[in-house]
Amino acid sequence: MTTVLAIETSCDETAVAIVNNRDVCSNVVASQISIHKNYGGVVPEVASRLHLETINSLIALALEQAQLDWKAIDGVAATCAPGLVGALLVGLTAAKTLSMVHSLPFLGIHHLEGHIYANYLSEPTLETPFLSLLVSGGHTSLIYVKDCGVYENLGATRDDAAGEAFDKVARLLKLGYPGGPIIDQLAQQGNSSAFKLPEGRVSLPEGGYHPYDASFSGLKTAVSRLVQQLEKDHHVIPVADVAASFQDTVARALTKRAISCALDYGLNTITVGGGVAANSGLRKHLLAAAEAHNLRVLFPPLKYCTDNAAMIACCATDHLNRGHISSLNLGVESRLSLSQVMKLYD
Ligand code: KG4
Ligand code: ZN
């Protein structure tokens, strides 16, 4: 049995968790959203400072809630890529320091690998291979999960990430930040067929369209034009209908790509990870389509969809059990492909 304390500070949540194999002993998150929403998005410098102010008390709280002391911990991990450099440095420096003080192995973890591992917290018997649909504020990817640390990128967005599209559309509808949960709630009162919006496809040089890549910038522009036109015609903007039509278009686009990718690669399980995995429209469309094709879809519980450290600790446990340990010289990286994740270990 391996017990890991992990820290996640890649963006706007300061999070610490202790996980024993796939059992969560404690999972604490201090969200910075109430501060960043005054600026309409995450301000990197503010994020770093808030992580610094919160991290020590959160580590103490995680140990207290787990009713464990340092003698029970086998390793210390922190997200080291991708993310905001200043924010990542706070968590990484804290984890390295704790590993030195307590003579414990240190592991740097890839944030997206953490989102993949969120599924193991609710489905501990999940086995590779499977397809992972990662949909967050910064990423939209289809990943062939072959084994711990072995990933192949099969599809991605060519422009905006799915969560980014939700946030941008919410901004142009003047709904606040982060947009995903607000649009999701409004969409449930709206008519998803009210407006026909373009799904956005990626052309191939030889003709036709890329089956797994997505593009959301055209959809965002179409919503912007629709709002402008309605305003010009002096209509009250039917915000719930616009939100429902937009959400439905994104959910259908993601569902279509995930299903065809799973079928083409003979993978009968699709896991979903990242903040947009919380979206009710995506859950509805993907579950229905998977059932029709006899595929299994797993969504983590909502608290493990958005950024948290339990998923980072769960991922670190698997690496640690395989003898993967990082050097104390490991730095942070704002971008790092999942296919390069093993370069984090010596
Ligand atoms: O994974 P995450 O917490 O942070 C990143 O790694 O980016 O994802 C945050 C993103 C934001 O863009 C947020 O608007 C979106 O996830 N999000 C949602 C929902 N909840 C969060 N998008 C759609 N529907 C939701 N219910
Ligand atoms: Zn994330």
Per-residue pLDDT of the chain (346 residues; tens, 9 = 90+): 899 999 999 999 999 999 999 999 999 999 999 999 999 889 999 999 999 999 999 999 999 999 999 999 999 999 999 999 999 999 999 999 999 999 999 999 999 999 999 999 999 999 999 999 999 999 999 999 999 999 999 999 999 999 999 999 999 999 998 999 999 999 999 999 999 999 999 999 999 999 999 999 999 999 999 999 999 998 899 999 999 999 999 999 999 999 999 999 999 999 999 999 999 999 999 999 999 999 999 999 999 999 999 999 999 999 999 999 999 999 999 999 999 999 999 9
For residue 141, give both structure tokens.
Answer: 């990817």
Tell me phi and psi for residue 81, to 5 degrees. -170, 155
Would you state the pLDDT for residue 55? 98
Work out the angle between the directed axes of helices 217-232 and 239-264 (0-180°, nearest 10).
160
Ligand nearest to the CA of 135: 1
Question: What are residue 130's DSSP bridge partners?
Answer: 145
Output the six-digit token pair for 206. 């030889």
- Which residue in this structure is represented by tokens 């469309």? 285
Nearest-ligand number for the alpha carbon of 180: 1
- CA-based nearest residue to 317, from 145, 93, 120, 132: 120
Query: Would you state the pLDDT for residue 234?
Result: 87
> How far is ligand 2, taken at its centre, from the CA of residue 17, in Å?
15
Name residue 8's beta-bridge partners: 15
Which pairing describes strands 296-298 and 140-147: parallel, antiparallel, or unpaired? Answer: unpaired
For ligand 1, which residues put their CB under 6 angstroms from it? 11, 136-138, 163, 166-167, 178-181, 184, 274-276, 278-279, 306-307
Q: Which of 141, 276, 286 to mutate to test the pocket of ligand 1 (most atoms within 8 A of CB)?
A: 276
Residue identified by tokens 């400072």 is 49
> In terms of C-beta density within 10 A (0-12 exposed, 13-18 middle, 19 or more buried), how is residue 291 classed?
exposed
Cis peptide before 301 (omega within 30 of 0): no
- Residue numbers in the known binding site for Fe cation are 111, 115, 307
Structure confidence at residue 235 (pLDDT): 87
d(CA 130, CA 261): 11
Specify the ligand 1 atom closest to the Cα of 83: 6
Q: pTM of the predicted model, to two decimals?
A: 0.96
Asked whether the bond before 129 is cis by omega within 30 degrees of 0, the reply is: yes
Which residue from 29, 31, 141, 166 has its CB within 8 A of the most atoms of ligand 1, so it is best to mutate?
Answer: 166
**Main-chain phi, psi angles of 118, to 5 degrees:** -55, -30
**Which residues, by Cβ under 5 Å, contact ligand 2, an ion?**
136, 307
Round to whole Å and give the CA distance between 321 and 300. 23
